[in-house]
């Protein structure tokens, strides 16, 4: 079984406001995406599981347009939540795991490099310690699992950390997943040093070695979180230790953004090359 995740970030913002959305009005955006891909994704029943992480306002439209083979998720949760006989819901501005579960989510992404960068930036700005970041992510992971959400937990190293990658990843895994039930967790490996225009591309051998190490520490499925794209889908599929990938932008030149038809081409190319456990229906 392969796992293909889609992180739609804030791709709902129209170009007139500085965003990258030109495919549908914000109110119709999530439904348009799901409706555009569900017929094709249905062909892979039994071969792959699909999940999409939507900005919060788009979860209900995505669910309404969804189908049985698609998991709808949110983009992170707070580390505390409501409890019977305890906090009744005093979490103004905060996205709790149980509130997302109540909307119909069944998964979330935690520890994405953008979340880690934000938390690290807060620590740097206000004189705190970056040592707390993995502990914060651990509270989020625990809350998500307690609410019945599966977790895509992201780990990765910067360029400066690349020479001690195993040490960095072990800390992120040991502290971020401390005390959690691993059966509800999938790991996304994000090589931060390779993400972005003009950055070097990790080789299949590099990725394979690191994924083997992650699995030896975490004993969870691992997907490539550095961006599954049409240009690298065949290479990512050639790494047997990888269990899938994370897609975000589909177009990186011209009118950059996410386009459903391009997403389907990535899925088709990846799964067409990957060694899956069942034949496509």
Question: In this model, does residue 280 exceed pLDDT 60?
Answer: no
Q: What is the pLDDT of residues 100-136, one digit of tens each?
A: 999 999 999 999 999 999 999 999 999 989 999 999 9
CA 134, CA 116: separation in Å to the nearest integer?
9
Going from N- to C-terminal start, the domains of the chain cover: 2-273
23-255-75-209 Cα dihedral, nearest 10 degrees: 130
What pLDDT was estimated at residue 275?
Answer: 76
CATH of domain 2-273: 3.20.20.70
pLDDT digits (tens, 9 = 90+) for 130-180: 999 999 999 999 999 999 999 999 999 999 999 999 999 999 999 999 999
- Give percent of the chain with pLDDT exceeding 90: 91
Give dist(CA 93, CA 272) in Å, integer. Answer: 43
Work out the average pLDDT over 192-209: 87
In this structure, the number of other CB atoms found within 10 A of the CB of residue 8 comes to 22
Other Cβ atoms less than 10 A from the Cβ of 262: the count is 16
Q: Which of 21, 7, 231, 218 is nearest to 113 (CA)?
A: 7
Q: Which residues are catalytic?
A: 112, 190
3-state secondary structure the chain: CEEEEEECCCCCCEHHHCCCECCCCHHHHHHHHHHHHHHHHHHHCCCEEEEEEECHHHHHHHHHHCCCCEEEEECCCCCCCCCCCCCCCCCCCCCCHHHHHHHCCCEEEECCHHHHHHHHHHHHHCCCCHHHHHHHHHHHHHHHHHCCCEEEEEECCCCCCHHHHHHHHHHHHHHHCCCCCHHHEEEEECCHHHCCCCCCCCCHHHHHHHHHHHHHHHCCCEEECCCCCCCCHHHHHCCCCCCEEEECCCECCCCCECCHHHHHHHHHHHHHHCCCCCCCC
Q: What is the mean pLDDT of the chain?
A: 95
75, 7 Cβ separation under 8 angstroms? yes
> Residue 99 pLDDT > 50, yes or no?
yes
Nearest-5° angle of CA 33, CA 112, CA 115? 110
Residue 36 pLDDT: 98
The whole-number pLDDT of residue 95 equals 97
Q: Does residue 281 have a pLDDT over 50?
A: no
pLDDT of residue 195: 84
199 pLDDT band, cuts 50/70/90, is: confident
Q: pLDDT > 70: what percent of the chain?
A: 98
Band of the pLDDT at 43, cuts 50, 70, 90? Answer: very high
| pLDDT for position 163 | 92
Cα 253–chain centre separation: 22
Predicted local distance difference test score (pLDDT) of residue 32: 98
pLDDT of res. 196: 74
Q: Is the pLDDT of residue 277 over 70?
A: no
């Amino acid at each position: 079984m392969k796992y293909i995740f889609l992180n739609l970030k804030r791709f709902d913002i129209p170009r007139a406001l500085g965003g990258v959305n030109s495919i549908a009005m914000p109110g119709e955006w999530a439904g348009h995406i799901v409706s555009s891909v569900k017929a094709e994704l249905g062909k892979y029943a039994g071969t792959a599981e699909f999940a999409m992480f939507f900005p919060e306002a788009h979860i209900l439209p995505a669910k309404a347009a969804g189908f049985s083979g698609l998991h709808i998720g949110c983009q992170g949760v707070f580390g505390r939540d409501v409890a019977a006989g305890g906090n009744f819901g005093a979490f103004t501005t905060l996205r709790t795991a149980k509130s997302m579960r109540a909307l119909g989510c069944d998964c979330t992404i935690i520890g994405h490099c953008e979340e880690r960068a934000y938390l690290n930036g807060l620590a740097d700005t206000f004189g705190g310690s970056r040592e707390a970041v993995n502990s914060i992510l651990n509270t989020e992971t625990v809350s998500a699992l307690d609410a019945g959400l599966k977790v895509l937990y992201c780990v990765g190293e910067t360029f400066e950390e690349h020479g001690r990658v195993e040490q960095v990843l072990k800390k992120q895994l040991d502290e971020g997943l401390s005390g959690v039930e691993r059966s509800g967790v999938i790991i996304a490996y994000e090589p931060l040093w390779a993400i972005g225009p003009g950055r070097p591309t990790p080789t299949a051998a590099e990725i394979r070695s690191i994924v083997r190490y992650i699995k030896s520490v975490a004993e969870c499925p691992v997907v490539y979180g550095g961006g599954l794209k049409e240009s690298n889908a065949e290479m990512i599929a050639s790494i047997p230790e990888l269990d899938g990938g994370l897609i975000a932008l589909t177009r990186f030149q011209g009118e950059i953004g996410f386009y459903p038809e391009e997403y389907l081409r990535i899925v088709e190319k990846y799964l067409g090359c990957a060694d899956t456990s069942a034949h496509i229906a």
